[in-house]
Structure 1
Amino acid sequence: MTELLELFIMFFRVGALTFGGGYAMIPVIQREIVEKKGWFDDEEIIDCFAISQFTPGAITVNTATFVGYKKKGIIGGI
């Protein structure tokens, strides 16, 4: 449960403090997930952004869903 809360807080903070839309959030999300948390490596996060880009919907919502799914399965993706 702690990891789910950590996912929520991280994406909430990124969404609340970043201006400029989804594409402006990509470097911030990458810094949080790769450098600070160490959840993904650079190649995994680039693949995540690529999948999020061609999936219908907002890129940041798709990225959050994909990261949550990779970390905690279906419940993390929700």
Structure 2
Amino acid sequence: MSKESQRATASASICGDDLSCCRPAVRRAYTELRQCGQPERYAFEAAIAVFRYHHPAAMPRQAELVVAEWVFDGVRH
């Protein structure tokens, strides 16, 4: 197994199969940036980055939907 595959496997196991394990970190990133006056889009993108750090195998659209549900209390269109 290459070092890159080992890293990807290790990264994928941060939260295992539980997508909600990083929910507090995702919400905190969004909330604190908004409280500092950052635009909603920047805060949302940062929250997605936190989610993707914990779940690198997640598809981009899946990450957006999960994060939107967590930070907006439902999906926004």
TM interval, shorter chain, is: 0.3 to 0.5
> Greater helix percent: which structure?
1
Larger radius of gyration: 2
**TM-score, normalised with respect to structure 2:** 0.42
